[in-house]
Structure 1
C-alpha cells in the first residue's frame, strides 16, 4: 500500500527537474485561468438569456391575466348601453314623436330620453328622422343640444337605415368628444321612420386604466387607437394607413381633423401567440422596452393592446440568474484550483525527493507516514460520512412522519366538516322526536327515527368515501339522476334550516336527466352550496336562494344564486384554498372538497359575487340514460 504512489507516478514526472515542473506549473495555471474566464463568460451569457426568457414568460403569464380582465371590464361597459336602442326602437312614444308633426310628442320624448340617460352610463340619447335630422335628444335643454343637427352623413345612421343596427366609434361633431355610437332603425325596412342613437363615452374606463400605470389601448380594424390610457395616443395608428383608407376616414369625419400619425412604437418582434416585444416612447420619458400583449374583444372588430415594462423585471431576473451561476461556478473552480495546486505541489515534491537520493530512505519513511495519516483521515472521513448518512436517514424519517401527520390532519378536518351536516340534521330530527314523544305522537317519532337511521348510514358512506380518498381511491362514477340528488340534498337540510328552507326556490330538472358521478358525493356538493347560501342570508329580509338547471349539448349546468351581501374580495380571491373561510366556526373545506368532487367527474365550479349576491355554477358531464 505504501508503494502505490511510486508505482502510479507518470514517466514525465520521473524525468522532470524542479525548474521544468515550475515552468509547466505556470503554463497549467495560465490555461486554467483562460478556461475559467471562458466558462464564466459563457455561463453568464447563458444566465442572461435564461433570465430574460424566464422574466418574459412570467410577465406574459401575468399580463395575459390582466389583459383578459381588462377585456372583460370593457365588455361589461359595452353591454350596458346596447339594450337602450333595441328597447326604444319599439317604444310607442318614439313612434308617436316620429310620426307626429306637433311639438307635444317630441317634448314628451325629450324628457323621457333625459330621464333614461340620468339612470344609465350613456353619454347622450337622441332620435333622428328618416332624413337624419335629430328631432329629440336627452340634452335638448343644453346649448350644445343635438336637436336640429343633420347626422345623415354619419356611418352609424346610414348603416342603421340599411341593415337595422350599427355601431360606430367617432368624434362628436357637436360635443367634440370621442365615443361609441350605437344605433337602431325605427320602423320596417320598407317604411323606416328614423333612427335611435345612444352615445357611450369611456372616460371612467380610461381613468381606471391610467391608475394601473401600464399603457393600454384599443384599436379598430384599421389600427386606429380609439380608447387609451394615454390621451395623446388617441386617433394615432399602429402602422401607416393606406392612401385609400386615410381618404375614406377623412371624408367620413370619423376622427375629425386628427393627423392619424403613427404611434411612437417600433415594429413588434413576435415571441409567442399574440405576444411581442416593442420599443415605445411614453410621454415625457425615454424609449423603453415593453412586452406587448394583444387580444381580440368579442362582439366588436376591436383589439386590446397591453404594454408591460420589461426592463426592471428582465434586469432583476438576469441578476438573479448571474448570481446563481456565480455561486455555483466559483466553489467548483475553487475546489478544482485547490486540487490542481495539490497535484502540482505533489509533483514538485516528488521531483525534489528524487534529486535528493541520499535522503531517499528518510523520504520513503516520511512518505509512508504521510500515507498512513492520509489513510487515517480517509477512514475518519468515511466514519463521518456514515454518521452523517445515519443522521440524514433519521431526519428523512421524521419528515415522512410529519408529512403523514399533516395528511391525517387534513383528512380528519375533512371528515369533521362533511359529517357535520348530517349530524346537525340528526340532532334536529332527534329534537323533533322528543317533542312528538311529549305529545304522544308515535308515527312522527318513527318517521324521525327512520330518517336518523338513514343519516347514520350516510355518515358511514361519507367516512368510507373520505378514507378511500386518503388511499388515493374513489368510488366508481356512474349515471346519477340529477333531480333525485337535488331532492336528497334538500331533505338533509330541511330540519336544520326549519323556517328558512322556504327561501330555496328550486326549478327541478326533468325526470331522467342524468350526470356522471355518485349520488352521495353530488349531494355533498349541493348541500355545501345550499347551506352556504342559506347561512349568507341569515337575518336578511326577502331572502331568496334560486336553484336552476340548464342542459347544453355536452353538459348540465346547476346554478345556485342568492341575494345576500356577496363574498368579501379577500375571501373570494382564494375561495377554493383549504381553511379559507369567513365563518367564525367554519373550517374552510366545504368548497375545496366540492371542487375536488366535481373535478373528479370531469366538471368544474364557477363563482361570481358582488354586493347584490353570489352565484355558483356547477358544470357536470351529461349522460343519456
Structure 2
C-alpha cells in the first residue's frame, strides 16, 4: 500500500518540489540582491558623512595651526628691535636679533624666522648657527618678498632654496618713518601634521591651482588634481617654488574637485593596484587651499554587504523552510513523514552553517566596534589639541597689547635706574631708595603679567577642583587690560560674590572668560560709552557668572547656530570659540548659554559650587 501511494504521488510530488525549489531560488536571489544593494547604499551614505566630518576636522586643525603662526610676523613687524637692526645693521644689534629669532623659533615651532632688508638681503635669521643659515642670502626674487614690500603682507608655499624642504612662507613688511625698511618672514613646515595624518586615512591639502602641497603620502607631493597648463608650469619653475617637480597628474576617476558632498573615486598610484575611496573636501578660505580626505570603502562595503546577505539568506531560508514544512504537511502519510524527516535534518544542517556565518559576522562586528572606539579616542585627543590651539591663537591676539603693556614699565624702570645713579652720585640716599622702591613695584607688575601669560599658555587637562572665581576673573582681565584701556571700555563687577569657589580648572575657566570678554570687546568697537558687566550670583549649589555688554547684541538667526561648529558672523572668525568654550564648561559639569538681555549680549556660565 505504501509503495502504491508513493508510486501514485511520486510524479506530482517531484514536480511540486521542482517548482517550489525554483520559486525559492528566485525569491532568495532577489532578497539577497535587494539586501546587498540596500546595505551598500546605506554603508556608502555613512562613509560619506564620516568622510565629510573628517575633512572638516582636518581643515579646522590646519586652519588653527596657520592662524597661530600668522600672528608671529605681525608681532615681529611691530618689534622695535627689528626696525632698529634694519636701520643700523650694527653687529651687536644683528647678533641680539639672531638670538631673539632663534629663541622665538624654538618656542613657536616655526621652521625658521628671518629678517630681509629692503634690497632682499637676509640680515638675521633663527638658523644663524647652522650650516644652512639664511644670513647673507638674497631673496629679492621670491614672490613673498616682492608682494610684502608692495602690499604689506604675503604668503607662499615653496621649496626652500637652501634646505630644499617644503613649507609655507608668511611675510610682513616692516615700515619706518621714511618708508619700508624690510620684511619679516616666517617659514612653517608641516612634517608633524603630515605624520599625524599618515596614521589614519590619506589626506592632503591642494592650492587653488590644484597642486598638492601638504600630504600624508610623500609621493603625491606636487602632483596636480587636474592638468596644469604649460604656461603655469613654466611660471612656477621660474619662481623656483617647487624645484624640478614634473606636475604629474594624480590618476583619480572622477577627478577630485572641491565639493560639499563626499563622492566615490578610484585612485591608481604608480605601481600599485587601483583602490576606491570616499573623497571629501573642506575649504580653507584664508589661504585658498582645499583639504581632501580619502576614506577607504572596500572593507566597510564588503562587511556591510556580507552581513546584509547573511541576514537576507537566513530570513529567506527560514521562510522557505516554513513554506516547505507546510507543503510537506499537505502530502500524504508516509511520503509526508519521510520528507519531513529529511527536511528536518537538512534544516538542522543549514542552521548550523548559518549560525557559524552569523558568529563570524558578529566577530567582525566586534572588531569594527573596537576600531570605532579607538577612532573616538583619537577624536577626543584632537579636540583637546584644538582647545590648546584656540588658547594659543587667543594668546597671539592679545600678545601685541601685552607687549605694549610691558614696554611702558620697562622704560620707566630704565628712567628710574638712571635717576637713581645720578642721585647716588649726589649722595641723596633718600631719593635713591624711593626710586628703587618704584623699580621694585614696576618689576612686580611685569612679573604678574608674564606669570599670567605663561600660566595661560600652559596645556592643562587636570580634573575639576575648587577654584576661587575671583582669581580666574582677575587673570582674564589682566590679559585683556591693554585692549580694555585702548578701547576705553568700563568694566563693572560685583566683587562681593566673586569670593565663591567653583568646581573647575582655573586656566581652562580663564580661557572661557577670555573668549567671552574678547567677543564683547569686538562687539563694542566704535560704540559710544562701551561697558562690560561681570555679575556673579550664588544660588544653592550653583554659581552663575554673567558677562554682558551694551553692544548691538546677537541677531536671532545667528543665535540659533551660535554654538554650532564653524558657524560665525565674523569676517575672520573660525566659529569654534564658543563651541570650545561650551565643551570646556560641560567638562566641568556646567553650562554656557546666551540669555535675553534688554541691550547687548549676555552670556551666562552656570558652574557647580565647590563644597567648603
Q: TM-score range by the shorter chain?
A: 0.5 to 0.7
1:328 paired residue among 315, 319, 336: 315
Shift in alpha-carbon separation, 1:617–1:82, aligned structure 2, 3 A: farther
**8 A contact 1:268–1:277 mirrored in 2:** no
1:170-569 pair list within 5 angstroms: 170-187=158-175, 191-212=179-200, 214-268=201-255, 273-281=260-268, 285-343=272-330, 345=332, 500=468, 502-503=470-471, 505=473, 534-536=502-504, 546=513
Give the SS at the match of 1:619: strand
Question: How big is the alpha-carbon RMSD for the aligned residues of Structure 1 and Structure 2?
Answer: 4.4
**8 A contact 1:129–1:193 mirrored in 2:** yes
CA offsets 1:475-526 (integer angstroms, 9 cap, x no match): xxxxxxxxxxxxxxxxxxxxxx999464463899xxxxxxxxxxxxxxxxxx
**8 A contact 1:206–1:227 mirrored in 2:** yes
**8 A contact 1:164–1:189 mirrored in 2:** no
Give the SS at the match of 1:195: strand
Shift in alpha-carbon separation, 1:227–1:271, aligned structure 2, 3 A: closer
**8 A contact 1:505–1:545 mirrored in 2:** no
Give the SS at the match of 2:292: strand
User: Hey, what's the Cα distance between the residues in 2 that align with 1:258 and 1:172?
Assistant: 14
2:65 paired residue among 57, 77, 86: 77
CA offsets 1:226-275 (integer angstroms, 9 cap, x no match): 11111111111122212222222122111011111122433259998431
Corresponding residue of 1:486: none
Shift in alpha-carbon separation, 1:21–1:192, aligned structure 2, 3 A: same
CA offsets 1:272-329 (integer angstroms, 9 cap, x no match): 8431212234687532221111111242211111111111111110011011111211
Corresponding residue of 1:383: none
Q: How many residues align?
A: 399
CA offsets 1:200-225 (integer angstroms, 9 cap, x no match): 0111111111222x111111111111
- Answer yes or no: is 1:111 the counterpart of 2:99: yes
TM score, norm. by length of structure 2 = 0.57
**8 A contact 2:503–2:588 mirrored in 1:** no
**8 A contact 1:606–1:617 mirrored in 2:** no
User: Hey, what's the Cα distance between the residues in 1 that align with 2:7 and 2:258?
Assistant: 58
User: Hey, what's the Cα distance between the residues in 2 that align with 1:144 and 1:173?
Assistant: 10
Shift in alpha-carbon separation, 1:189–1:155, aligned structure 2, 3 A: farther
- Answer yes or no: is 1:52 the counterpart of 2:20: no
Deviation at 1:193, TM superposition (A): 1.7
**8 A contact 1:55–1:314 mirrored in 2:** yes
Greater alpha carbon shift after TM alignment, 225-234 vs 99-108 = 99-108
Give the SS at the match of 2:157: strand
Give the SS at the match of 1:221: coil
User: Hey, what's the Cα distance between the residues in 1 that align with 2:469 and 2:141?
Assistant: 60
Which consecutive residues of structure 2, in runs of 5 or more, have no partner in the other structure?
337-464, 478-496, 524-531, 545-558, 564-577, 600-612
Which consecutive residues of structure 1, in runs of 5 or more, have no partner in the other structure?
1-16, 350-496, 509-526, 562-586, 592-600
**8 A contact 2:52–2:261 mirrored in 1:** no
Corresponding residue of 1:620: 594
Deviation at 1:619, TM superposition (A): 3.5
User: Hey, what's the Cα distance between the residues in 2 that align with 1:21 and 1:558?
Assistant: 96
